[in-house]
Amino acid sequence: MSENEKTKENTDEKPKEWVPPSVRHNMTETEKRQRQLDRMFENIDKPVVIPDRPTGPKEHKSKDFVRNVSGSSAGAGSGDFHVYRAIRRREYARLNSMAAAEYNEKLDQQYEEKIERMKQKDDDKTAKKRARRQKRKQSKQQNEPAKKAKTEVNPT
C-alpha cells in the first residue's frame, strides 16, 4: 500500500477537532469528561481498557550494587559511615518487605483454606438435607396409592 492510498483512507475518516491549548487547559472538569466521552464515542468499535486496581503498596526495587566504591589504597572517609548506614537501612527495609509479603501470602492461603472448608461443610450439609427431602418425597409417593385405595374402600 502506497503513501497516497494511506492518506486517502485517512481522509475518509472524520478529522479530529482541534482545540487550542488556551481552551483545552482552561476546561472545567465537566467539559473535560464530555470531551473524553465524545472521543470515545467517535471510536465506538475500539474496546475500552479498564486497568485493575493496585492491590498493595508499590514495591520499590532496591539497587543490588554500590556506586560509592573506594579504591584499594583509600581509607574510610568521614562520609562512608552515612553511606553504609543508608545501604543497611535499605537492606533491612527490603528484608522487612519480603517478610511482610510472605506473611500476607500465608494469611491469604489460610483464608482460602478456611473458605474451602466452610464451602465443603455447607455442601455436605446441603447434600444431607437434599437426601432427606428426596427420601421423604419418595416415601410419600409410595404411600399415596395405598391411601387412595384405603379411602376408596372405606368412604366415611
pLDDT digits (tens, 9 = 90+) for 90-117: 889 989 989 999 999 999 999 999 999 9
Cα separation, 97 vs 90, whole angstroms: 11
Which grid cell is 110? Answer: 489460610
Question: Around Cβ 79, how many Cβ atoms within 10 Å?
Answer: 9
pTM of the model: 0.47
C-beta separation of 86 from 58 below 8 A: no
Four-residue CA torsion sign, 95, 54, 46, 22? negative
pLDDT for res 154: 64
* Arithmetic mean of pLDDT, 32-40: 89
How is residue 47 written as a grid cell?
Answer: 474496546
